[in-house]
């Protein structure tokens, strides 16, 4: 599910921080310690507490004495409860490493405790799982929220970014294009749900999935059920759809 794997970023010159150390894996640990060399580590930051992003943080903290920055794990499935930040790092908090400034940007949606980090001098945003290269993030209700996700994406456009550095995949050189593409993709899925419910009258989520996600491989359908539910819950919150006994219909 992580594609080419999770990207870890070592940021700074003299004073340095590490972003998203990844899973607690011996090979990963050895690789990061080699990258650190003889230099110190000021802080370990995480974008969120999924198990492919944060578990190695605690082990590295014990080895380096670095401060742990981020938000605690929410009470949701698949979260790394071992991550206990030294300080909770919230929206607009800034880490200054000898003039290299990283500003936290709260971007709920994928999960509620998701943070992106803006490298202000470069106008580069480390996006974790909020914006990915070559694929779209899954939204994981009830902790993840489709309305929050879309609002967070739109907020990023106000930052006048030049580069995106995702948690999976390569650097993205067209931030506005990537953000607009994600918004359009999500709204196209929503339109397919509305069209399917208009045609069927009412349907359970399994029946909807076969129509709404008819363009993806079968092995991805299990994950797609999560994002489809996030879309349905968005429509319900907007009083555009309702669910009775497991069957969804549009509100007249």
For the segment 107-121, what is each residue's pLDDT rounded down to a tens digit? 999 999 999 999 999
- Write down the pLDDT at residue 1: 56
Q: Cβ contacts of residue 201 below 8 Å, gap of 6+?
A: 249
Domains of the chain: 9-173 (3.60.15.10), 184-250 (1.10.10.10)
Q: What percent of the chain has pLDDT over 90?
A: 95
Residue 4 has pLDDT above 90, yes or no: no
Whether 169 has a pLDDT exceeding 90, the answer reads yes
Question: Residue 237 is inside which H or E element, if any?
Answer: helix 221-237
Query: What is the reported pLDDT for 201?
Result: 97
Question: Is the predicted pLDDT of residue 237 greater than 90, yes or no?
Answer: yes
Q: Cβ contacts of residue 32 below 8 Å, gap of 6+?
A: 8, 10, 18, 21, 56, 60
Model pLDDT, residue 143: 97
pLDDT on residue 39 = 87
27-50 per-position pLDDT tens digit: 999 999 999 998 899 999 999 999
Alpha-carbon 22 to chain mean position? 14
**CB neighbour burial string for 89-126, b if at least 16 within 10 angstroms, e if fewer:** beeebebebeebebbbbbbbbbbbbbbbbbbeeeebbb
Whole-structure pTM value: 0.96
Q: How many whole angstroms separate alpha carbon 29 and alpha carbon 59?
A: 8
Max Cα-Cα span within the chain: 66
């Amino acid at each position: 599910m992580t594609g080419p794997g999770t990207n870890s970023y070592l940021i700074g010159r003299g004073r340095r921080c590490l972003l998203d150390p990844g899973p607690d894996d011996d090979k990963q640990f050895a690789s990061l310690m080699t990258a650190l060399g003889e230099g110190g580590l000021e802080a370990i930051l995480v974008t969120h507490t999924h198990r492919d992003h944060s578990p190695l943080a605690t082990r590295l903290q014990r080895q380096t004495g670095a401060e742990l920055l981020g938000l605690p794990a929410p009470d949701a499935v698949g979260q790394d409860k071992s991550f206990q930040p030294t300080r909770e790092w919230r929206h607009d908090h800034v880490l200054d490493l000898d003039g290299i400034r990283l500003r936290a940007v709260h971007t709920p949606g994928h999960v509620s405790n998701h943070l992106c980090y803006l490298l202000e001098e470069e106008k580069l945003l480390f996006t974790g799982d909020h914006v990915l290269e070559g694929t779209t993030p899954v939204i994981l209700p009830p902790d993840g929220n489709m309305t929050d996700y879309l609002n967070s994406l739109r907020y990023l456009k106000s930052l006048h970014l030049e580069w995106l550095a995702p948690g999976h995949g390569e650097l993205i050189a067209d931030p506005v294009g990537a953000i607009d593409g994600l918004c359009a993709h999500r709204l196209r899925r929503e339109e397919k749900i509305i069209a399917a419910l208009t045609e069927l009258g009412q349907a359970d989520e399994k029946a909807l999935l076969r129509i709404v996600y008819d363009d993806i491989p079968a092995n991805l359908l299990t994950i797609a059920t999560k994002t489809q539910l996030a879309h349905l819950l968005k429509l319900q919150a907007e009083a555009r759809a309702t669910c009775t006994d497991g069957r969804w219909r549009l509100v007249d």
